[in-house]
Amino acid sequence: MTSNRIDDVRSSRKYIANDEGCTALAFILIIFGLVGMVFCGVVLGFIQLPFTSSKADVLAEQLAMWEHHNIQSYTVQVEFADHTRMIRAEGGHVVDADSNVEVSYTINWLFDRAAECNRFCSVEYDATYGFPAHIGGGFLGSVGITVIDFQPID
């Protein structure tokens, strides 16, 4: 008899109405939960925003640091695609290279590469002079560009 009573309750309007009410309540709770998560994400984003710099801002700061040092002549050794190149630059132009260098590999060239792939690559900067010391990831893949040695020339 108990089984018939359960079946009667399940088929009654009260049970169906209660089931629809639970479904509606669950739906409302899910919506409020999603809205709450979005709200918290926006609030946390605005709180964190003043404390983070964009990559473009960092690039501009590092370029300003490089320009502040006003280094006109230097030697730089760069590793790119398993090739190491040593160049001597004066006034931003290559004046001597250790081999047949197809690319100028100057500090200006490094800043140009950093700007080109700034959104997709990781860029590490030299702490003393500000030039891009390593550019990797993104469309460069695992290749990367790394400054192995840098020496200003007086």
- Give the pLDDT confidence of 41-81 residue by residue, as tens digits: 665 555 544 444 688 899 999 999 999 999 999 999 988 87
What token pair was written down for 62? 């590092």
Q: Is 61 in the same domain as 13?
A: no
Are the CB atoms for 107 and 88 separated by under 8 Å?
Answer: no
Residue type, 59: L
Query: What number is the average pLDDT over the span 131-148?
Result: 80
- Cβ atoms within 10 A of the Cβ of 88, count? 15
Q: Is 13 in the same domain as 59?
A: no
What token pair was written down for 32? 């409020």
Please report which confidence band the pLDDT of residue 149 belongs to, taking 50, 70 and 90 as the band edges.
very high
Per the structure, the complete domain to which residue 92 belongs is given by: 55-152
Q: Among 51, 72, 87, give the residue marking a domain's end.
A: 51
Q: Is 69 in the same domain as 143?
A: yes
Q: Is 127 in the same domain as 59?
A: yes
- Cβ atoms within 10 A of the Cβ of 45, count? 10
Q: Is 100 in the same domain as 145?
A: yes
Q: Is 66 in the same domain as 129?
A: yes
Q: CA-based angle 98:103:55, to the nearest 5?
A: 120
Question: Which pTM value belongs to this model?
Answer: 0.62
Q: Is 62 in the same domain as 134?
A: yes
Spatial separation of the C-alpha atoms in residues 54 and 65, rounded to whole Å: 17
Provide the pLDDT for residue 59: 92
Q: Is 79 in the same domain as 141?
A: yes
